[in-house]
Amino acid sequence: MNPHALRRTIIIAVCLYVFDGLVVGQGVIGALVFLVAFLAGGIRILIAAHRKDHTLVRLHAARIGVYFPMAVAIVGTLYVNNRIAKYQAERLIAACRQCETKYHRLPDRLPELVPEFLPGVPRAKYTVMYGDFTYLTSEKSYRLYYVAFPPLTRAIYSFESGRWSTFI
């Protein structure tokens, strides 16, 4: 078995996890890489098995085996980040409601909640991109949202209806 090929696969998988799970936080790249690795690796395994090259069979199986935990780790990270975002959003909503009760109005900006209602404005997720909340206000509308599935899907809370919705 070629240790350099396996080492290179591990480095690529770790880099993909960091990029797709922690920087962008979307999971699509990791899923596609796993799918391609699984299909291409499966074909390579069949060819190597046909040639009775057991070393190559083990190498290709090991490379597929590296990408599987990477994909699971990315999905797990996305799940945890979305749970964190929902929790942090509920904290922000509660603080906005406390402000509304005390001052008879919702805040115009989230930093107005600090330090009276919150110690600081939390991030929605622990990702480099798409990690912040957005708070949009107009004369008759107050909305809090975060990017649930980058780059397109947003979880949006309407203060008027008190409901969550999803926008794609």
**Average confidence score pLDDT of the chain:** 92
Output helix, strand, coil percentages for the chain, rounded to the nearest 5: 60, 15, 30
* The overall pTM is greater than 0.75: yes
DSSP 110: G
Preceding amide of 115 cis, omega within 30:
yes
The residue type of 17 is: Y
The residue type of 149 is: F
89 close to 146: Cβ distance less than 8 angstroms: yes
pLDDT tens-digit readout, 32-74: 999 999 999 999 999 999 999 999 999 999 999 999 999 999 9
pLDDT by residue for the chain (168 residues), tens only, comes to: 567 888 999 999 999 999 999 998 888 888 899 999 999 999 999 999 999 999 999 999 999 999 999 999 999 999 999 999 999 999 999 999 999 999 999 999 999 999 999 999 999 999 999 899 999 999 889 999 999 887 778 999 999 999 999 987
Specify which residues 163 forms β-bridges with. 158
Q: What pLDDT score was predicted for residue 1? A: 58
Q: Which three-class secondary structure state does DSSP give residue 130?
A: coil
